Amino acid sequence: MGQIEWAMWANEQALASGLILVAGGIVATVGRFAQWYFGAYSIAAGALVCLLEYPRGRRRKGSTMERCGQKYVAAAVKLFGPLTRNYYVRAVLHLLLSVPAGFLLATILGTVCLAIASVIYLLAAIRGEQWLPIESKPKERPQAEDIKPPPSNPPPRPPAEARKKPNEDEVAAGGNPQVNPIPVTDEVV
Amino acid sequence: MGNWLVNHWFSVLILVVWIGLNVFLFVQTFLKYEKSDEYYYTREILGTALAVARASARCLNFNSMLILVPVCRNLLSFLRGTCSFCNRTLRKPLDQNLTFHKLVAYAICIFTAIHIIAHLFNFERYHTSQQAKDGSLASVLSGLSHHEKYGGSWLNPFQSPNMTVLYVTFTSIAGLTGVIGTVALILMVTSAMEFIRRHYFELFWFTHHLFIVYFLCLALHGFGRIVRGQTKDSMKESHPHKCAQSFEKWDHHDSHCRPPQFEGNPPESWKWIVAPVILYIFERILRLLRSQQRVMITKVVMHPSKVLELQMTKQGFSMEVGQYIFVKCPSISLLEWHPFTLTSAPEEDFFSIHVRAAGDWTENLIRAFEQHHSPVPRIQVDGPFGTVSEDVFQYEVAVLVGAGIGVTPFASILKSIWYKFQRADHNLKIQKIYFYWICRETGAFSWFNDLMISLEQEMEELGKVGFLNYRLFLTGWDSNIAGHAALNFDKATDILTGLKQKTYFGRPKWENEFSTIATAHPKSVVGVFLCGPQTLAKNLRKCCHRYSSLDPRKVQFYFNKENF
């Protein structure tokens, strides 16, 4: 039991409680139950709890599976710094949020569940756990480079004729400034 | 899709029957409460929410009855054993017991939500009509308990205008057990989420025992008899069709109609759940009794990569290939049972498990045995329980794929085959085995090195070199290992394992493997067995469907996955 990260379970429990609060609140508001304004409060509180709890924190060891699309909410949650990192704050917040919903039967289930989540967060905080955002995945291991086959063609060169220097006739006709005392032939292969 | 259906038609049938029964129960109960006359007056106050609540309640009873059955693993093992003559497709649902358990759990959650919402409306309406002073039928009905002459025959549980909804909820049996049971259910569900189950199994296991609270609350829930309908005598006397209109005159001496009499429905939940609860109690007692038997540890081997092998004996223990046991070590934890596949063959006179360090409990176990304590820590064993690997010998051709420690059930199979060859058992249905072992690091190979080497020699001696085709894949390679392997390319045996078959690097290309096998065995039924991660399962399942021909006489691949 030593390696249990209570915050992970508290997170699931709080998320579920948020949803239950919203559902109960909707029932109370739509049905116009007595004191239905507690229901309206419950919808708002539940939505807040859901937003806060949606991004899953990083596990201490090993990789953590993100919830779908949690990056964007996590960015917002990170902004609050120690308020969201510290689990004592979360425990107190959840406890306070759950109290008003306890006045209505439709939402009291949400109250009880959120209060339980608050207790589990308290336990997590006592054990020194913290909410840390999940880092983005490191770059994939570089693939082994494809070994390119050796070139099959020789490097591009102009055709043999063009490689020869201009011939003596042209040289003589063109008025080469240099006069060679002995005939010179190009040794180009 | 066609191939999937052929393999899974029985599971699909069970699913369809289950959904059908749910729908049937819901609709039948809904119509009863919505149409029948004995609830005429109740409906007057509550409306349709009454029928919705009762219909979802009946479905809850049905599903709560079903949910305990798939987790009675001794019963399932027994069924698998007695039905061994059955078609393998008929026994497939036994492997999917956990999936069914989860499905029924989801159904319970959905019906609980419907039930609670409907009852929220019911309570609110009861409350409103208790407070109403408008002389309507609803308010007259709500005031019924005040008539001393007719006994305590009341309809509305809200007896006085001061009672709030919260008060009645927490002072009635139904309300209290409802809230407590639902909280237990929610705690069970949140701790059973895949994330928590995979990484913090003990938390899941302990919290899940809240099901005892849930079942208790379910059984007691109806004892308050809070759902009330008109009594038969009262209906004979003053039928609602006659008397409902003239409700103002019920009290008058000269009217034909008396105020209606009500009685509560007797509780029925306990009738649904009593049988499975007794079955489950037997299951737990059986597990306890089996675990109390003395286990002798005959040999302890520490392998590299932090793998511990324990060889044990227990009186009366007999196993089949690929079965698993639950192991408890009281000196580490008094309450935890952990599952391990048996790695020994049935022909051996001991049974063994290989334990890899994967968490708290396993690390403590390995440490306890590493330190050579005297006496050796006591072990308790429950099982063996059967899984899919027992079916391996039923196929002509078997493809066995094990990823890392997932090779353990197949080690048992290969050992068993080795013994069968030694004893010249030529009745083996298996003609050919393709064995794929996929591993991340080299140290992991040493466990079964001996086994593979002796199997290789055995095959050569018996001249059956083609019987066992194995491929070992090393996925965690780096350029050092690759370079080393390249330099030693010409050696007859592999540098890492000492086996004749060379180690491959990287992951297998399943399409190539499957098409080779399909071409080599065009008319056979091929069983594909995997013990490994979900992604690999998806891959293999796809390949099985793709390479199975639609003609049932030609090659067919059947996929079987084992996962804890």
Q: Give one DSSP letter per residue of B265-323, joined into a string.
A: PPP-HHHHHHHHHHHHHHHHHHHHHHHHS-EEEEEEEEETTTEEEEEEEETT----TT-
Question: C-alpha angle with apex B148: B145 to B149, nearest 5 degrees?
Answer: 120
Cβ–Cβ of B200/A8 closer than 8 Å?
Answer: yes
Interface of B with A (CB under 8 A): 113, 116-117, 120-121, 123-124, 127-128, 165-166, 169, 179, 182-183, 186-187, 189-191, 193, 195-196, 199-200, 202-203, 333, 359-360
A–B interface: beta-carbon pairs under 8 A: 77
Tell me which range, B50-64, B314-328, B436-450, is most confidently predicted by mean pLDDT: B50-64
How far is it, in rounded angstroms, from Cα B525 to Cα B148? 78
Amino acid identity at B539: N
Lowest mean pLDDT segment, chosen from A5-14, B9-18, B467-476: B467-476
What is the H or E stretch that residue A13 is in?
Answer: helix A6-30
A120 inside 8 A of chain B by CB: no
Mutate to test the interface with B, among A5, A9, A53, A116 (most CBs of B within 10 A): A9
Burial class (CB in 10 A: 0-12, 13-18, 19+), B529: buried
Main-chain dihedrals φ then ψ at residue B132, nearest 5 degrees: -70, 135
How far is it, in rounded angstroms, from Cα A48 to Cα A50? 5
How far is it, in rounded angstroms, from Cα A20 to Cα B186? 10
B151-167: pLDDT as tens digits: 557 888 888 888 888 98
What's the pLDDT at B507? 82
Cβ–Cβ of A4/B202 closer than 8 Å?
Answer: yes
Over residues B500-528, the mean pLDDT reads 82
Specify the pairing of strand B307-314 against strand B351-356. Answer: antiparallel
Cβ–Cβ of B179/A27 closer than 8 Å?
Answer: no
CA B39 to mean position of chain CA atoms:
39
Q: What percent of chain B has pLDDT over 70?
A: 87
Instruction: Indicate the DSSP class of residue B525.
Output: E
Main-chain dihedrals φ then ψ at residue B352, nearest 5 degrees: -135, 155
**Rg (alpha carbons) of chain A, rounded to whole number:** 38
How far is it, in rounded angstroms, from Cα A158 to Cα A2? 77
Mutate to test the interface with A, among B110, B123, B124 (most CBs of A within 10 A): B124
What's the pLDDT at A7? 92
How far is it, in rounded angstroms, from Cα A25 to Cα A46? 8
A77-101: pLDDT as tens digits: 888 888 888 999 999 999 999 999 9
Q: How confident is the model at residue A115 (pLDDT cuts 50, 70, 90)?
A: very high
B390-423: b or e for each residue (b if 16 or more CB lie within 10 Å)?
bbbbebebbbbbbbbbbbbbbbbbbbbbbebbee
How far is it, in rounded angstroms, from Cα B505 to Cα A43? 55
Task: Looking at B330-473, list the stretches that DSSP marks H as alpha helix, in order from N- to C-terminal side.
Answer: 360-370, 408-422, 446-461
Amino acid identity at A175: G
User: For residue B338, is pLDDT > 90?
Assistant: no
Q: Where are the domains of chain B?
A: 2-242+259-284, 294-359+377-385
**In B, which residues are within 8 Å of A24 by CB distance?**
120
Specify the pairing of strand B295-303 against strand B307-314. Answer: antiparallel
Reduce the DSSP state of residue A26 to 3 states and report it.
helix
Cβ–Cβ of B359/A3 closer than 8 Å?
Answer: yes
What's the pLDDT at A166? 55
What's the pLDDT at B78? 79
Instruction: Indicate the DSSP class of residue B136.
Output: -
CA A98 to mean position of chain CA atoms:
31
Mean per-residue pLDDT of chain B: 83
Nearest residue in A to B195, CA atom: A65
B394-405: pLDDT as tens digits: 788 888 888 876
Tell me which range, A177-181, B219-223, B238-242, is most confidently predicted by mean pLDDT: B219-223
**In B, which residues are within 8 Å of A34 by CB distance?**
124, 127-128, 165
What is the H or E stretch that residue B560 is in?
Answer: strand B556-561
CA quadruple B74, B76, B82, B88: dihedral sign:
negative
Burial class (CB in 10 A: 0-12, 13-18, 19+), B162: exposed
Burial class (CB in 10 A: 0-12, 13-18, 19+), A46: buried
CB B130 within 8 A of CB B161: yes
Q: Look up the pTM and report it.
A: 0.79
- More confident site: B417 or A1: B417
Q: Which fold has domain B294-359+377-385?
A: Elongation Factor Tu (Ef-tu); domain 3 (2.40.30)
Tell me which range, B62-66, B140-144, B253-257, B323-327, is most confidently predicted by mean pLDDT: B62-66
What's the pLDDT at A171? 46
Q: Concatenated DSSP letters for A88-142? A: HHHHHHHHHHHHHHTTSHHHHHHHHHHHHHHHHHHHHHHTT-B--PPPPPPPPPP
Tell me which range, A1-5, A50-54, B261-265, is most confidently predicted by mean pLDDT: A50-54
Facing A105 at nearest CB: one of B165, B189, B195: B165
Question: C-alpha angle with apex B136: B133 to B137, nearest 5 degrees?
Answer: 130
User: For residue B84, is pLDDT > 70?
Assistant: no
- Which residue in the block uniquely carries the two structure tokens 């006085």? B160
**In A, which residues are within 8 Å of B182 by CB distance?**
109
- ipTM value greater than 0.95: no
Q: What percent of chain B has pLDDT over 90?
A: 27
